[in-house]
Amino acid sequence: MSNDALGRLPHSYPFRFLDKVIEISRVRGVAIKNVTANEEFFQGHFKDDPIMPGALIIEALAQLAGLVMNHGDEKATGAYIAKVKDMKFKTKVSPGDTVTLIAEAQESFSNIAGFSVKAVVKDKTVAEGEIVMGANKDNSNVKVS
């Protein structure tokens, strides 16, 4: 899979939380985040037990959902988190983990789209829930699964 999709992210270091896009369509996206000990957030979260903050896992999932939402639309200018619903964190993400991120479109209306999202490490779900994204354009062509 070409990683041209990453170039469409409006985020840059240190706030880009996708390293590789595995699959991308108007229905679903799969991406990878390689979590290293050098991540800036580990400096204070937590000193003796480094854990990737849940809010940043949500951000990574939202970045992927935004790519799905805007896939194939050259005029798209970005997507923003409108709502996080029923997000559950099942275990921690630590340095050395490779997180597989999955976002699947569930519904859309105008410039809003809802996604079922999941983060997985070694075939174990570490977080899952729903994210609603908003965009600066009409997303009525988002495909839902």
Look at residues 49, 51, 79 and name the one whose alpha carbon lies nearest to residue 63: 79
From CA 18, how far away is CA 133, in angstroms rounded?
17
Is 1:67 a contact under the CB 8 Å cutoff? no
From CA 123, how far away is CA 7, in angstroms rounded?
28
Residue numbers annotated as active site: 45
Predicted TM-score (pTM) of this structure: 0.90
Residue ranges of E strands in 35-123: 79-89, 98-109, 112-121
What is the full per-residue pLDDT of the chain (145 aa) written as tens digits? Answer: 446 888 778 788 888 999 999 999 999 999 999 999 999 999 889 989 999 999 999 999 999 999 999 898 877 778 999 999 999 999 999 999 999 999 999 998 888 999 999 999 999 999 999 999 998 765 445 555 5
**Under CATH, which number does the domain 3-135 receive?**
3.10.129.10
- How far is residue 68 from each of residues 1, 73, 117, measured CA to CA in Å? 14, 10, 12
